[in-house]
Chain A
Amino acid sequence: MSISRRKFLGWMGGASLVAAGARKAHAAANRSFEGYAGSLAVLHDITRCIGCRRCEAGCNAVNELPQPEKPFDDLTVLEKRRRTSAPAYTVVNRFAPAGDGQPPVFVKKQCNHCLEPACASACFVKAFTKTPQGAVIYNPNVCVGCRYCMIACPFEIPAYEYDKALDPRVTKCTLCHPRILEGKLPGCVEACPTEALVFGPRDELIRMARDRMRAHPGRYLDHIYGEHEMGGTSWLYLSGQPFETLGMREDLGTAPAGQLTSGALGAVPMVVGLWPVLLTGIWAITQRKEKIAAHEQAQAVAAARAETEAQAEVRLKTALEKAAKENAAAVAREVKKALETAKTAPQGESDTEKKS
């Protein structure tokens, strides 16, 4: 056998190309995706947010969204916890920290632009794309409107235009991807008056966050939310309050969403490959069993018939022999009788003759 190492590796490469579907799901790959190199992100320093809602207004303007009922400078909307919706890609919520006299904390909420997004993994028409620049963008031209992305998103971000009959879209923050491509800032970042939002390369923002922690001991918790959550996100958060008390879940884990389903997807080709073999095997076994059963039945019938025939023959033979014997005996008896009569007859005759 002369298979060169190179040839072998070439074949393996071919095989992995065939299994491209499985490769995408990283069914068995021992590797992780750390995000596109140099991709852009936003750092939200929650301790700097004053809850002015200018970011909401900025978002509304650059995305040409419908005007809300209450204007953006009306801060009474903060009294209720809000989530993102079709007309609002971002919302600011107010939280009261534990302990008396503590000032309220404001947190901005929008798409976190995961490095490996759940929505993109869940979409069956690839309507979501993680761009190398950092944004997770949505393509309404292929979207069927199944809303599985909304189910899948652990941050509960995508919204849906439920009131549209024929062309409803899923809506969410785009990280102002078109503006990024033009070299502009995202609308919310540009509108923020307190630099609670900083836009830049993700790895630099992580360094900046650590610098702030070092520079202001006691101001921040030692946790950059989004650095590892769900495999990492392109929005990063710094806070002085536990994130859980700010409506941000800390139980999401660090595995990207795709890993949750890759095992099940990896099982698909196994079922396709093995089930027909197993089922055909069962079919063949039952067929063979039936065949053997039929054969054995036929054999048994034949054997039984043969036996009966043999028995019948024996019986016939014995009967015939018996009959022959009886015949012979009868003949002998008759002969004997006849002889006896013949023997006695002359005597009788002579007797009678004598008598007469």
Chain B
Amino acid sequence: MTSPQTTTGPGRLLTPFNLVAGIIVVFGMIITILRFTGGLASVTNLSDDNPWGLWIGFDLLVGVALAAGGYVTSAAVYIFGLKRFHAAVRPAILTGFLGYALVVLALHYDVGRPWRLPYPFVVSAGTTSLLFEVAACVALYLTVLFIEFSPAALEWLGLKRARHLVTRLTLVLTILGVVLSTLHQSSLGALFLIVPAKLHPLWYTPYLPIYFFITSTIAGLSMVICESALSHRYFHGKMDAAHLSGNRDLTLGFGKAASWVLLGYFVIKVIGIAADNQWHYLGTGFGAWYLVELLGFVALPAFMYAVGVREKNITIIRWTAAWTVLGIVVNRFNVCLVAFNWHLPAEQRYFPHWMEIGISVFIVTLGILVFRFIVTRMPILHAHPDYDAH
């Protein structure tokens, strides 16, 4: 393992990480220019049959789910009173905020006229659309996350009075965050309620919004475990005693919660199959893939989390968390891309263009760069010396 300081140490610009990130950013810029001069046709494999591709499936659906750590952690600490996880709140809020900001950035690539994104609110409100609800909640929640994140920036800037004012809003913001997250996380699933004719019956169920909401909490818990593991490794020098010592406790606590929620999710998934009597589809090719998702990415991590927590084995929990995050990606891809349009012949199905993948990688890279910029400067992984942990 290279020393963690290679990426965080001041003055060293030409690190392997920076080099790779730089190349990705340059490529991203080029594809961006192509996108906004040649249209979607020049950089994507989207078609009239497949109007949504990787940028919706990954950047929007996966992005929003994986950014759920913010509301999960702040709710655990400020509402459920699990104060021992307090050190995890700021990194989780920061990744949540960056996640949502990047989702909105990615949407600018996908929609035809991005400057019209505020239209649903200021020009013509289509309130019968689930997408309206998603848009409204994402816009509001991005604002909430920004305010929740701002104390760290205000401490960094030394604006004590503003910081004091914002921290007094903590409880209200947390509740607002949970309400908005409940709504838009579930609405992303509800987007597909309108397509029983296009989505495979194993994935299409009236429970879709509930599934999406529950999996968002699983994603949130697992992402916080993964992020804390990565921060531990690469930003060790930036972490104070509270963050270093709380890490193990956090991993065990969130791992236990994730195990239980995955178990509950497994149960309601089976209920979904039973309620619509879709058992016979399990014998088909799509059924096999469904079982891979259900057993491999729901039942297995539920069990492995439980084992990790019982054995107090941090390594098992961390790998399970990474596997669970992958499972969220699989689930969102299945709903949006794999099981969607399952009735179409193979030649009309969608597979992303490499430049679509390029933009997604570019946007994730931007997120990592901004995250690094902030945690190496602002009090995220350590408390600011002038303030108590609030």
Contact = CB atoms under 8 A, between A and B. Distances in A.
A260 B196 CA distance: 9
Contacts of B179: 271-272, 275-276, 279
The number of chain B residues touching the other chain, given as a range, is 35 or more
Nearest to B36: A165
Interface in B109-123: 110-114, 116-117, 119-120, 123
A264 interface: yes
B51 A151 contact: yes
Interface string A129-143: 000000000000011
A151 B195 CA distance: 7
A326 B373 CA distance: 79
Contacts of B113: 143-145, 166-168
B38 A275 contact: no
B190 A121 contact: no
A147 B52 contact: yes
Contacts of B194: 118, 121-122, 151-152, 257, 260-261
A122 B135 CA distance: 13
Interface in B77-103: 78-81
A164 B175 contact: no
Contacts, number: 180
A229 to B, nearest CB: 11
A313 B368 CA distance: 66
Given A163-B39, A168-B39, A249-B197, A148 B128 contact: no
A265 interface: yes
B275 to A, nearest CB: 14
Contacts of A24: 127-128
A280 B40 CA distance: 46
A124 B197 contact: no
B130 interface: yes
A145 B112 contact: yes
A86 B186 CA distance: 33
Nearest to B78: A283
A166 B36 contact: yes
A162 B126 contact: no
Interface in B19-40: 35-40
Interface stretch (A59-67, A93-101, A285-293, A332-340): A285-293
Interface string B123-140: 111111111110100000
Interface stretch (A41-49, A69-77, A153-161, A235-243): A153-161
Interface string A20-63: 01001100000000000000000000000000000000000000
Q: Which 5 A-B pairs have the closest CB atoms?
A: A145-B112, A286-B81, A147-B51, A162-B41, A264-B190
23 contacts: A120-B128, A122-B130, A122-B131, A124-B129, A125-B119, A143-B113, A144-B117, A148-B131, A148-B191, A150-B51, A154-B198, A165-B38, A166-B36, A168-B39, A249-B197, A261-B130, A268-B133, A275-B178, A279-B79, A279-B175, A283-B78, A283-B79, A286-B81
Given A125-B119, A160-B51, 4 more contacts: A84-B48, A125-B125, A272-B183, A279-B75
Interface of A: 21, 24-25, 83-86, 118, 120-127, 142-148, 150-152, 154, 156, 158-169, 249, 251-253, 257-258, 260-261, 263-265, 267-268, 271-272, 275-276, 279-280, 282-283, 286-287, 289-290
